Amino acid sequence: MVYHLYITNKNYSSWSLRPWLLMRVLGIPFDEHLVPIISGSISQPHWKSFSPVAHVPCLHDSSLSEEQSIILWESIAIVEHLAEAISDKHIYPVPERKAARAWARSAVAEMHAGFGAIRNEMSMNIGLRIQLNVTKISGGLRRDLERIGELWTEGLEKFGGPYLAGGEFTAVDAFYAPIVLRMQTFVGSMDLLGEKSKQYVDMMLGLPEMVEWVGDALKETGRDVLHDEDSIGGRKVLADLRAKEE
């Protein structure tokens, strides 16, 4: 196999989901290597064996040499590398659709660099259902959620849907997929979204590849206690759909 993708726990890892989903939906073959979290941190010492910064996701491309793979340790670098290496897969909208292509790249970069309040106050935890009252959230989280709704509505209206940049699933959908899953976890978070954005969430949750990822996440029995506490943040847990701990 040319591509080897290193990821971690599917229940928790938003960054792992992005390249995994992109490659699965677009039919780019890869070997999946899931290396679980041992302690609550975005950097795990044992990940150093495959990632120079001990982070996930990490893609190894052995197209040039099995002995000396090209290693990409940032999700946005993985996406750009794939866009160059496999032009027929339309990682971004085709070059002829310049406006959609530019918008998608900008939205990907915004997701990669921004939305800190969502990351901090709505950390990904696929198997939980947590009550979120949008009248009691921080100003930063409200701004992030409103910006998500604004951005999604802009893309869907400007390019015709059903995906954010038009008729095909591209990198921009993969990058916002973890936000879609957070909307499912944090019950009430969609109250700040418009109707088009809500329809987009429903459509994305129905993608077979998303269903597969969620199914795998719910089967995981490993727990990261610190991550769970961070996700809950003192709010009411409505349901825990995860498999029982070992």
Residues 10, 110, single domain; the answer is: no
pTM: 0.96
Nearest Cα residue to 177 out of 10, 44, 28: 10
* Residue 48, token pair as written in the block: 């150093």
Count of CB atoms situated within 10 Å of the CB of 143: 14
Classify residue 245: in a domain, yes or no: no
* Residue 54, token pair as written in the block: 């001990």
What is the helix (H) or strand (E) element at residue 192, kind and residue range?
A: none
> What integer pLDDT is reported at residue 57 of this predicted model?
97
Classify residue 31: in a domain, yes or no: yes
Across the chain, how many H-helices and E-strands are there? Answer: 9, 7
DSSP letter (8 states) at residue 201: H
Classify residue 115: in a domain, yes or no: yes
| Domain around 40 | 3-89
Residues 72, 190, single domain; the answer is: no
CATH number of domain containing 223: 1.20.1050
Residues 78, 149, single domain; the answer is: no
* Residue 110, token pair as written in the block: 């915004």
CA distance 55 to 48: 8
Classify residue 102: in a domain, yes or no: yes
Residues 108, 43, single domain; the answer is: no
Task: Report yes or no: 56 and 6 within 8 Å, Cβ to Cβ.
Answer: yes
* Residue 58, token pair as written in the block: 């990490």
Q: What are phi and psi of 29, to 5 degrees?
A: -65, 145
Look at residue 95 and tell me whether its pLDDT is greater than 90.
Answer: yes
CATH number of domain containing 18: 3.40.30.10
Classify residue 54: in a domain, yes or no: yes
Q: Give the mean pLDDT of 40-49.
A: 76
Per DSSP, the three-state class of 61 is strand
CA distance 151 to 165: 11
Domain boundary pick from 66, 89, 112: 89
The mean pLDDT value of the chain amounts to: 96
> What integer pLDDT is reported at residue 246 of this predicted model?
66
> Which tens digit of pLDDT belongs to each residue from 123-169?
999 999 999 999 999 999 999 999 999 999 999 999 999 999 999 99
Number of compact structural domains in the chain:
2
